[in-house]
Amino acid sequence: MNLDAQHPLASGLTADSRLIRAYQGTRPEATPVWFMRQAGRSLPEYRSLRVGTRMLDACLDPEMASEITLQPVLRHQVDAGILFSDIVIPLKLVGVDVEIVAGMGPVLGKAVRTARDVAELVSLDPAVLETTLDPIRKAVARTVAQLGGTPLIGFAGAPFTLAAYLVEGGPSKDHIHARTLMHADPAAWASLMDWTAEVTGRFLRAQVLAGASAAQLFDSWAGALSLADYSRFVAPASAAAIAHVRDLSYAETAPGADAPIRRNVPVVHFGVGTGELLHEMHAVGADVVGVDYRVPLDEANRRLGGNVPLQGNLDPALLAAPWPVLEAHVLDVLERGRTAPAHVLNLGHGVPPLTDPTVLTRLVAFVHEVTAGAHGETGAPGASATAPSEPASTPAAS
């Protein structure tokens, strides 16, 4: 399916940005940078805005979600925004009883532990998302209109991570109930995974159609699985979720080309503790693989065969280290990332809530400075957001 002509990729607004070129495997003139969980958490302007508003309510308020998405782009000058939302949003919008509990995370009103529970859950029709996702579409459109040439990344939780929350009833250290169900009742598990793939795939597709220039699938809990279990019980559902955006494409006219090049919307697949699963995670249909901080990027590149763009993988713990320690770590990650066809610098997980925002601002500027002109191929940098470069209350980077 062709993207609408006004979509930022189809119109050319974001197609030449650093991020999109890197996701396509071409090294731009400087390494692009963005951070997972960059929207909120560590920003005082985010905490001020969120006072009195519950997490999921904030996600479903288009104006608030857009403002929170833009805050770190304006403050840090990162190369992409990522929509402020939550992976359980599509569950809530399809009718699941779920809330985000402070200090805990997603908590379900009822755990899905039996075949009967699964049957009751999957009776909820994912088609309702065609209308209930309207607040998300509005938030994306509102944000894209203000980002200019800076791409917006849409994201969704992978089917296994959603299923793990549903079966456990909330966060878990080992996901024992989910892992038990997949073996004890494979038919019920397959039904559950088919349903979560449909729900989260629709969520991802809605964001891209509304204007997101890339899509990222998060599998936060896949690291609890063996390679055999991932391949048999999880990978098919992840492929089904990604299939919801794999058909979305646009035409790009390259300089000197005889005909337009047909390109797909880039898809990133990221997991936590998934070093042994990297090859399978790429094989489900991803263009880019996100790597957490446990596996060096040169080793991840070797495991993936040397032909996959990588994203990652600063250790979030080092954001609180003295600058010389963090700087050395950043340089090491950049050097290892040069072994891959292209590299987007990111954290090996999310921004810790107590991170000093000025460190992130300084880090982005440092990466852009030390990588500028260092790559063999060049591409046009992404344009800055159309709003002012920093809010008035933002302190300068130290």
Q: How many CB atoms lie within 10 A of CB 163?
A: 29
DSSP per-residue string spanning 377-397: S--PPPPPPSS-SS-TTPPPP
Sign of the C-alpha dihedral computed for residues 65, 67, 68 and 72 taken in this order: positive
349 annotated binding-site participant: yes
Q: Which of 37, 179, 246, 362 is catalytic?
A: 37
Nearby residues of 183 by Cβ (< 8 Å), 6 or more positions away: none
Sign of the C-alpha dihedral computed for residues 298, 302, 308 and 311 taken in this order: negative
Separation between Cα atoms, residue 297 and residue 289, nearest integer Å:
11
Q: Which of 18, 79, 113, 165 is catalytic?
A: 165
Separation between Cα atoms, residue 137 and residue 41, nearest integer Å:
23
Q: Is 292 an annotated catalytic residue?
A: no
379 annotated binding-site participant: no
Separation between Cα atoms, residue 235 and residue 282, nearest integer Å:
10
Q: How many CB atoms lie within 10 A of CB 242?
A: 23
What number of CA atoms fall less than 13 Å from residue 55's CA on the CB side? 19
The closest of 9, 21, 56, 34 to 377, measured between CA atoms, is 21
Token pair recorded at residue 257: 């080309």
Q: Which of 16, 50, 194, 332 is catalytic?
A: 50
41 annotated binding-site participant: yes
The closest of 313, 285, 287 to 300, measured between CA atoms, is 313
Are 65 and 58 in contact by the 8 Å Cβ rule? The answer is yes
48 annotated binding-site participant: no
Token pair recorded at residue 363: 């880090």
What number of CA atoms fall less than 13 Å from residue 278's CA on the CB side? 26
Q: Which of 79, 86, 287, 292 is catalytic?
A: 86
3-class SS at 225?
coil
23 annotated binding-site participant: no
DSSP per-residue string spanning 151-189: -EEEEEE-HHHHHHHHHHSS--SS-HHHHHHHHH-HHHH
Q: Is 165 an annotated catalytic residue?
A: yes
Q: Is 37 an annotated catalytic residue?
A: yes
How far apart are the two ends of the chain, measured CA to CA in Å? 46
Sign of the C-alpha dihedral computed for residues 260, 246, 216 and 390 taken in this order: positive
Separation between Cα atoms, residue 161 and residue 178, nearest integer Å:
10
86 annotated binding-site participant: yes
Instruction: Give CA separation, 40 vs 136, 143, 183, 190, in Å.
Output: 17, 15, 38, 35
Q: Which residues are annotated as a binding site?
A: 37-41, 86, 165, 220, 349
User: Catalytic amino acids?
Assistant: 37, 41, 50, 86, 165
Q: Which residues are annotated as a binding site for substrate?
A: 37-41, 86, 165, 220, 349
